[in-house]
Amino acid sequence: MAPPLSPTAFRNAIAGEGVDVVGVGNWPEHNRNHKGPWGPIHGIMIHHTVTSGTAHSVAMCRDGHAALPGPLCHGVIDKSGRVHLVGYGRANHAGLGDDDVLAAVTAERSPLPADNEANTDGNRYFYGFECINLGDGDDPWPEVQIEAIARTAAGICRKHGWDERSVIGHLEWQPGKVDPRGPIGKKGGPALTMAKIRARVAELLDDDTPPTKPPTPGKPKPYTPPRFPAGLAPGRTRPSARPLQRALKAAGYLAKSVPEADAYGPQTQTAVAKFHNAHPAYRAAGKSHDPAIGPRGWAALHRLAYAK
């Protein structure tokens, strides 16, 4: 149990373990503190996003969605091992969980009791990290991502003087939750478990060797979206819906199993509506063959889908 770290100390604790950390927008002031208290902090909770794609996942965790306002965590850990800080303070990540689990985490007792009640506000008491994974049990966890999860948790534990028992998964906190889950390394590999994550956190905390810093990534080139609308195919009077459908799939708004078609059908319309619900500033009036995506929405969607 401890007061929350300052935003600077929080970021430095993670970076100090050799993790690549980036801040997204005004993350130190982005929170839900107007909805209730934040702190004292008892531990760290690990989740999976049930999404794919870094840009889309980070935007969703920062902004939330129609059913749940953001931020949805404090940091997003992508599959390359980079941590994107999206908020700091109270965040909608833990929900109601078991008070017996909270007591065990606070006392650093193991094993954890079964999470059979939902009677305690976890958003108040835990740091939360969403890790990009579909959560379907098949989407693999790269080793570099698992190492970043462990190092992120170890850095915060080190700063607070906690041990690995202060790190739990969402599935250990709230009845009915399964995250994080999935195979390690490749489809069909051994299952990721919180026991494995905690074991790695313990190793890191026992090792006094200064961590190796990852190389500073080069400055990315600005991404330029394609022209809106897509160029007309010979003999066509309306633009094909296929480029829009591909971008919607890449950004996570349209299921990859939906067949591409030239027509702007109901599934494309629904996917655009999902994009607008997440990013209402880009809503625009459209024509019958253009589901109100508009030039600004087109550009924003392509940046979410393809910008690195």
CA 42 to CA 146: how far, in whole Å? 22
Token pair, residue 179, equals 């995250």
- DSSP class of residue 157 equals H
Q: Which residues pair with 83 in a beta bridge?
A: 21, 77
Which CATH number fits the domain 242-306, given the four candidates 1.10.10, 1.20.120, 3.30.2310, 1.10.101?
A: 1.10.101
pLDDT at residue 288 above 50?
no
* Centroid of chain to Cα 127: 13
Give, for 115, the enclosing helix (H) or strand (E): none
CA 204 to CA 147: how far, in whole Å? 10
pLDDT in tens, 18-60: 999 999 999 999 999 999 999 999 999 999 999 999 999 999 9
Token pair, residue 96, equals 């109601």
56 in Cβ contact with 251 (< 8 Å): yes
In the chain, what percentage of residues exceed pLDDT 90? 65
pLDDT in tens, 189-228: 999 999 999 999 999 999 866 666 554 445 556 667 777 7
pTM metric for this prediction: 0.71
Strands (E), the chain: 21-23, 43-48, 64-65, 68-69, 75-77, 83-85, 96-97, 120-121, 126-131, 167-169
Domain 7-206 part of CATH 3.40.640.10: no
282 in Cβ contact with 297 (< 8 Å): yes
> What ranges do the domains of the chain cover?
7-206, 242-306
Identical topology for domains 7-206 and 242-306: no
233 in Cβ contact with 292 (< 8 Å): no
157 in Cβ contact with 166 (< 8 Å): yes
